[in-house]
Structure 1
Amino acid sequence: MLEVHERPATLLIIGAGHVGKALATIGDMCGFSIEIVDDRPEFANAERFPEADRITCGRFDEVLDGYPIDPNTYVVCVTRGHKHDETSLRLVAPTEAAYVGMIGSKRRVRAVLQHLIEDGIDPRAVERVHTPIGLDIGAETPEEIAVSIMAEIIRARRGGSAMSMREVNRPRRGVAPEDRELPAAEP
């Protein structure tokens, strides 16, 4: 019998603030190899991110220029300002990453993406950026936002409709077939 082990996908989190921290925790729980990039040593450190496989502290443009990103890398920009997001996206959007996403309001995001195109970034690379990032689940807290983002990443990685399971009409792993009786609940 041959057992196949899939190499863990990499979740590259650019921005080590509250959402980045929650995303690292949830991404680790989902089996991703976690990599953190931030320019603040008080945020980008092993004490704050014990689940991270790699933590890099430095200027975003210097760290991300030539950063190893492949088709098994999922990139999330959750920095503290659109200037850092724009700098980061300029370097990661044209890569082979399986997924690139950026947090932000629709207005802010539109401005950042327009600047990238005006600065000569291939419009096809800009169009593939998921933004605003995440699935619409009404998320408000950093942890809820992280769940929303991870749900979108998992959908991109594994496929799926992002619909409620009760609305999906297809076989699902881990769910009892409809024709099989389920055990009665205990009183």
Structure 2
Amino acid sequence: MSICEIFNALSSAPGDVAVLVKARVGDKWVVDVVVDGRPVLGLVPRHVAEQLRLGQPGDRFDGVVDGVEVHAEVVLIRPTVVAVGRGEVARRVAEVAAAMGYAVVSIGHTARGALEATFEDLEKLVGEHAVVVVANEGGDPSDVDVAELAIRRRARYVAVMASQRRAALILRELERRGVPKEELERRLYTPAGLDIGAKTAGEIAVSILAEAVAALRGGTGRSLREVKNPRSVLKEVEGESLASYKCDWRPPRGL
């Protein structure tokens, strides 16, 4: 299986979790990823993978399944990001996404932590839950083509960096090409990013990826100080102290 096929399998996976599996097959240990009962790499027998439907991230299983010794753990599926563009913003998008722990492919540029691909690979890379960011500074005629392909491939978040007027022209062209208006409303984000006053390439990348996270995870994009105002629970914490307060939360392991 090629890198493009693995990337597409993860970006097409239903839900947010997968099962990381180490299994003894014959006289060898193999490692595979099971998504919805299907071994992505094809190394774990299918009849074993189909029985590994664990629940929440962190759940583990160590035992024998149909005569095969198995060690399995539920992990979060890393979101997949395809960053397209030839400028500094596209490179920063790829690098910030990689630093976030996402699986990243760069097209048109090189970036630390990202795999490199070509425009010809795009269709093989984009799955139903992928994030596709088109960030050509000043715009490029191919931007609309990339956006159309990503939307028709049902990518979850398709961002095109553009001014307000250019974004309007992109919308009009996509509608002219027959892309349904409801699909544009659901998947296309242009101008791209949240309004945080971003100016530098890195800040623009943060604003775009913050919007992508909100789209993927169902966030509001509002300040947590507003959403979870600490003053609203001051009476509830009377008698407690920071020294005695314990929080066992840790970020879940990702794939």
TM-score interval, normalised by the smaller of the two chains: 0.7 to 0.9
Structure 1: gaps spanning 5 or more residues: 39-43, 172-177
**Aligned with residue 211 of structure 2, among 134, 137, 152:** 152
Shift of 1:170: 7.4
Pair 1:50-2:118 in alignment: no
Moved more, 136-145 or 25-34: 25-34
Pair 1:125-2:159 in alignment: no
The structure carrying a bigger strand percent of its residues is: 2
1:21-170 equivalent positions in 2, closer than 5 A:
21-38=91-108, 44=109, 48-52=110-114, 54-57=115-118, 60=119, 62-64=120-122, 66-80=123-137, 81-127=139-185, 128-169=187-228
Q: Distance in 2 between matches of 1:4 and 1:129?
A: 31
Deviations 1:95-144 (A, max 9, x none): 12121111111110110110111122232332230111111100000000
Deviations 1:164-184 (A, max 9, x none): 11111379xxxxxx724336x
Q: Distance in 1 between matches of 2:152 and 2:208?
A: 21
Residue pair 1:101, 1:129 contacting (<8 A) in 2 also: yes
Shift of 1:82: 3.9
> How many residues of Structure 1 are paired with residues of Structure 2 in the alignment?
165
**Aligned with residue 241 of structure 2, among 172, 181, 184:** 181
Deviations 1:56-109 (A, max 9, x none): 23xx4x443x33322331111112424121121121111121211111111101
Structure 2: gaps spanning 5 or more residues: 1-58, 61-72, 231-235, 244-255
Q: Distance in 2 between matches of 1:170 and 1:84?
A: 44
Q: Please identify the structure whose Cα radius of gyration is greater.
A: 2
Residue pair 1:102, 1:131 contacting (<8 A) in 2 also: yes
The residue type paired with residue 135 of structure 1 is L
Q: Distance in 1 between matches of 2:99 and 2:131?
A: 15
Report % sequence identity: 34
RMSD of aligned Cα (Å): 2.2
Q: Distance in 2 between matches of 1:113 and 1:86?
A: 9
Ranked by relative contact order (alpha carbons within 8 Å, sequence separation 6 or more), the top structure is: 1
Runs of 4+ in 1 over 6 A off after TM superposition: none
